Amino acid sequence: MLPQVPFYFLRHGETDWNRERRLQGHIDIPLNANGETQAESVRAIAASFGFKSIAVSPLSRARRTAEIVNDGLGLPITEFADLREFSCGPYEGSTDGSWLDDWRADRAVAGPEGFEAFRARVLAGMREALRLDRPVLVVAHGGVFWALQRLLGFAEVTHLPNAVIVRFEPPVDSSGRWRIVRGG
C-alpha cells in the first residue's frame, strides 16, 4: 500500500517519439525543443507549490524535465530506478499500441514487462520517494501515472499529457478514495 500522504506528479516533457506516438519504454529518448519549453513553463509555476524535494526516473527525458523545473529552486533531486517507464520489449520504437488495453487489463501480452510486475516496481519506488522531504514532486512517465492510478484504486486509467502537474490527494473520509487534482 502507498503511504497516505499527498504528492505531486509531473510527466516529463515531450520527446520526438511522443510526437510520433512511438513507444519509448526503456529507450532513453531525450526531450525535444518543445519538451524543454514545456518544462520551462512548469518551472514558472513550480515555486508556488512549495516542493521540498524531487523524485525522478533515471531516464534522461524525466531527469532533464526535473532539472529544468528545479532551476532556481535548488531542491535535492533523487533518482529512483523503480520509477522508470515500463519495458515495452519488442514494441519499443513501434507505433503499435494495439496491445495496451489488454496489458492494462492484466491480460498476458508477450514481450513487454507485465503490468502487475510494473505496478509492484512503481509501488516500491514510490514508497522510497515518499520518504523524501514533503511535499514531493515525482517526475516520471505516462506508464508510471497509469500504474499509480491502478495502485490507488481508480477503475479506469487515464492519459496525462506531457509536462502537466497533478496532485494526488489521499482519502479524507471513509470512502477510501484518492483524488487526482490537475494543477495541484
Question: 43 in helix, strand or coil?
Answer: helix
Q: How far is CA 48 from CA 11, 45, 82, in A?
A: 18, 6, 28
Q: Are 103 and 91 in contact (CB under 8 A)?
A: no
Q: Are 151 and 123 in contact (CB under 8 A)?
A: yes
Sheet containing strand 7-11, strands side by side: 77-79, 53-56, 136-140, 7-11, 165-169, 179-182
> Pick the catalytic residue: 85, 92, 113, 141?
85
Q: Are 138 and 9 in contact (CB under 8 A)?
A: yes
Four-point Cα dihedral 154, 184, 140, 5, nearest 10: -70
85 is catalytic: yes
Catalytic residues: 12, 85
